[in-house]
Amino acid sequence: MKALIITISTFALLGISSPAIASPGDGSVTRDHRVAKARSAPTSFKTKPKVGTKARCPVMKGEFTIKSSSKWTYYKGRYYFFCCPGCKPKFDANPSKYAGH
């Protein structure tokens, strides 16, 4: 038992953490370093993107991969895709709020 307490204390003092909760160095905490940053994908597209393209939901701000079933809308010359069916009605109710126009 004493050895277990010493081991845990050593890890705590050295700042060793699990990679599942490690910080990528920019102050944010991710579940895994391979998770893409939410801001790396665009919120809108000039042309309709292909299935498999990374996008950022204009309502929830999270990054997702566009599927054939993804909801989308066309507003002021741009295509906007949504992470879930519930985001499209929110966008459609007030597009300028979410599109930044």
pTM higher than 0.85: no
Q: Residue 43: pLDDT above 70?
A: yes
pLDDT one-digit tens code per residue, 55-83: 999 999 999 999 999 999 999 999 999 99
Domain spans of the chain? 1-35, 36-101
Q: Encoding tokens for residue 76?
A: 């002021």
Please, are residues 35 and 22 in contact by the beta-carbon 8 Å criterion? no
Please, are residues 11 and 5 in contact by the beta-carbon 8 Å criterion? no
**pLDDT for position 6:** 54
**pLDDT for position 15:** 52
Please, are residues 20 and 31 in contact by the beta-carbon 8 Å criterion? yes
Bridge partners of 31, per DSSP, are: none
**pLDDT for position 100:** 81
Q: Which residues contact 85 (CB under 8 A, 6 or more apart)?
A: 71
CA–chain centroid gap for 43, Å, is 11
**pLDDT for position 80:** 98
